[in-house]
């Protein structure tokens, strides 16, 4: 490569002068199989509210509860003055921030197993009192809205409206390793029209632009889960260039996928299909018939809830699976898409692809979860007056490189 193209490549990947990057370390916890599979929460999605639609009041907004059973990626934030610390899951599939409250109902079991926000311990607390409710696939969450200061990645002083959960009648929240959820979806998904945290940081001049990126570590033995970067991306996390794909529906991070190839003999999504990039979902999911065909080609053995087991001895011979996005092929090797679990000296190999049928009008679609996002860094760009929302994708650099 000549020196001139190399210089141009460096200029394309360097952040603009003065850009502020907020870095939040992520922790990864492998939780194994559980008694509930929250992916079923995707099964009956509600239509996203129309632009400018009135607030639904006390009616719950339906959002997918991500697959927390296989892995949880979460980081730390603070709320109040002085900051009260919480572990939150950073979720691209929702747009609200909520944490448990000290005012939660006595019989709301998850409250007693997690950190709880105490408004009386914060000198900057401002009551709001508006009721909110979110219906997940495995239970209902409700509470009241409040306002206080957010501390995140070293940034302090952002005044945000967040939810204090008063009732969490769902087993999934009891066994979760995180306290609450910080949504990174689009404003249209926000319950009660609350301004999402990312937008608030930009509005108050604490973040240069509404862009964030994920660099995930899928090593099951590592506590280091990677890094969430707010305000841009770190080129040291990926191998440039980034391929940008436009967001087709600005609610979830939905894009158009042109095709999926399994080795050289099978083509899926042949006419193009919709796909959602979701940091809260562990696996890559797709329509049942296509996922069944994929596993017929790689020797998958059906399990419950649309998941498949693979023989670990076949990993060296398994074909690559390639996704065509934005005119670029993103190839997953068997090392990328096979989840190897060792428990009690026994090694199990779980396929990173699972069947999940999304009914119209939302579906059919694919969900590109952590199996994909662990291999490829995703830069989520909400866009501005000069351009629409888009997602940038590039192969993640190996850890320690």
Domain contains 11:
no
Last residue of a domain, one of 191, 207, 223: 207
Can 384 be counted among the known catalytic residues? no
Can 91 be counted among the known catalytic residues? yes
For residue 76, is the peptide bond before it cis, meaning its omega torsion is within 30 degrees of 0?
Answer: no
Lowest mean pLDDT among 77-81, 101-105, 295-299, 371-375: 101-105
Distances in whole angstroms, Cα of residue 84 to Cα of each of 73, 103, 106, 324: 20, 15, 21, 44
Q: What is the mean pLDDT of residues 206-225?
A: 81
Strands, DSSP E only, in 231-265?
Answer: 243-246, 249-250, 253-262
Q: How many domains does the chain have?
A: 2
Q: What is the mean pLDDT of residues 308-313?
A: 94
Question: Looking at the predicted structure, is the pLDDT value of residue 150 above 50?
Answer: yes
Domain contains 365:
yes
Host domain of residue 279: 234-395
Question: Looking at the predicted structure, is the pLDDT value of residue 8 above 60?
Answer: no
Domain contains 66:
yes
* 35 against 326, higher pLDDT: 326
Residues 246 and 372 in one domain: yes
Helices (H), 100-196: 171-175
Residue 254 is predicted with a pLDDT of 95
Residue 240 is predicted with a pLDDT of 93
Catalytic residue chosen out of the listed positions 67, 91, 199, 336: 91
Last residue of a domain, one of 207, 242, 268: 207
Residues 280 and 185 in one domain: no
Question: Looking at the predicted structure, is the pLDDT value of residue 195 above 90?
Answer: yes
Catalytic residue chosen out of the listed positions 67, 179, 208, 278: 278
Residues 179 and 321 in one domain: no
Residues 176 and 287 in one domain: no
What is the C-alpha to C-alpha distance for residues 228 and 237, in angstroms, rounded to an integer? 11
Average pLDDT of the chain?
81
Decide: 179 and 72 in contact? Cβ < 8 Å.
no
Provide the pLDDT confidence category of residue 62 given band limits of 50, 70 and 90.
very low
Residues 247 and 309 in one domain: yes
Residues 241 and 344 in one domain: yes
Strands, DSSP E only, in 31-176?
Answer: 61-62, 71-79, 84-91, 97-100, 126-136, 139-152, 155-167
Last residue of a domain, one of 189, 207, 225: 207
Question: Residue 185 belongs to a domain with what CATH number?
Answer: 2.40.70.10
Domain contains 46:
no
What is the C-alpha to C-alpha distance for residues 389 and 212, in angstroms, rounded to an integer? 12
Q: Are strands 353-355 and 284-286 parallel, antiparallel or unpaired?
A: parallel
Residue 72 is predicted with a pLDDT of 61
Residues 336 and 268 in one domain: yes
Domain contains 56:
no
Residues 240 and 203 in one domain: no
Question: Looking at the predicted structure, is the pLDDT value of residue 314 above 60?
Answer: yes
Lowest mean pLDDT among 158-172, 243-257, 291-305: 158-172
Residues 197 and 259 in one domain: no
* 336 against 50, higher pLDDT: 336
What is the C-alpha to C-alpha distance for residues 101 and 165, in angstroms, rounded to an integer? 5
Domain contains 212:
no
Encode pLDDT of 65-115 as tens digits. Answer: 333 334 567 889 999 999 999 999 888 888 999 999 999 887 776 777 788
Residue 233 is predicted with a pLDDT of 92
Residues 287 and 200 in one domain: no
Residues 178 and 251 in one domain: no
Residues 82 and 188 in one domain: yes
Task: For residue 240, give the 3-state DSSP assignment.
Answer: coil
Question: Looking at the predicted structure, is the pLDDT value of residue 5 above 70?
Answer: no
Domain contains 12:
no
Encode pLDDT of 31-60 as tens digits. Answer: 544 322 332 233 333 333 333 333 333 333
Domain contains 165:
yes
């Amino acid at each position: 490569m000549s020196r001139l193209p190399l210089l141009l490549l460096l200029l394309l990947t360097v952040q603009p002068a003065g850009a502020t990057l907020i870095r939040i370390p992520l922790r990864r916890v492998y939780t194994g199989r559980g008694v509930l599979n929250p992916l079923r929460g995707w099964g009956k999605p509600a239509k996203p509210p129309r632009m400018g639609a009135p607030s639904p009041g006390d009616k719950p907004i339906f959002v997918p509860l991500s697959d927390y059973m296989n892995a949880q990626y979460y980081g730390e934030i603070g709320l109040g003055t002085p900051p009260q610390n919480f572990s939150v899951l950073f979720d691209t599939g929702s747009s609200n921030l909520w944490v448990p409250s000290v005012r939660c109902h006595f019989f709301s079991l998850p409250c007693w197993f997690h950190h709880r926000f105490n408004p009386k311990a914060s000198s900057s607390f401002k009551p709001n009192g508006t009721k909110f409710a979110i219906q997940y696939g495995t239970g209902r969450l409700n509470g009241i809205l409040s306002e206080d200061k957010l501390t995140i990645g070293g940034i302090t002083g952002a005044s945000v409206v967040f939810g204090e959960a008063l009732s969490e009648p769902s087993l999934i929240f009891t066994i979760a390793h995180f306290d609450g959820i910080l949504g990174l979806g689009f404003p249209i998904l926000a319950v009660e029209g609350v301004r999402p945290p990312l937008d608030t940081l930009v509005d108050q001049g604490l973040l240069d632009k509404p862009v964030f990126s994920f660099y995930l570590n899928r090593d099951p033995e590592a506590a280091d889960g990677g890094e969430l970067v707010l305000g841009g991306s770190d080129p040291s996390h990926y191998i440039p260039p980034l391929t940008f794909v436009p967001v087709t529906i600005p609610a979830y991070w939905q894009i158009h996928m042109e095709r999926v190839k399994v080795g050289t003999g099978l083509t899926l999504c042949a006419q193009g299909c919709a796909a959602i990039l979701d940091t809260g979902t562990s696996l890559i999911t797709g329509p049942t018939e296509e996922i069944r065909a994929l596993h017929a080609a790689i020797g998958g053995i059906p399990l419950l809830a649309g998941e498949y087991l693979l023989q670990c001895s076949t990993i060296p011979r398994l074909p690559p699976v390639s996704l065509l996005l934005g005119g670029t092929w993103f190839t997953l090797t068997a090392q990328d898409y096979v989840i190897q679990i060792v428990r009690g000296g026994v090694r199990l190999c779980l396929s990173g692809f699972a069947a999940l049928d999304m009914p119209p009008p939302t579906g059919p679609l694919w969900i590109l979860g952590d199996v994909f996002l662990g291999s490829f860094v995703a830069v989520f760009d909400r866009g501005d007056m000069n351009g629409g929302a888009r997602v940038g994708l590039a192969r993640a650099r190996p850890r320690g490189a």
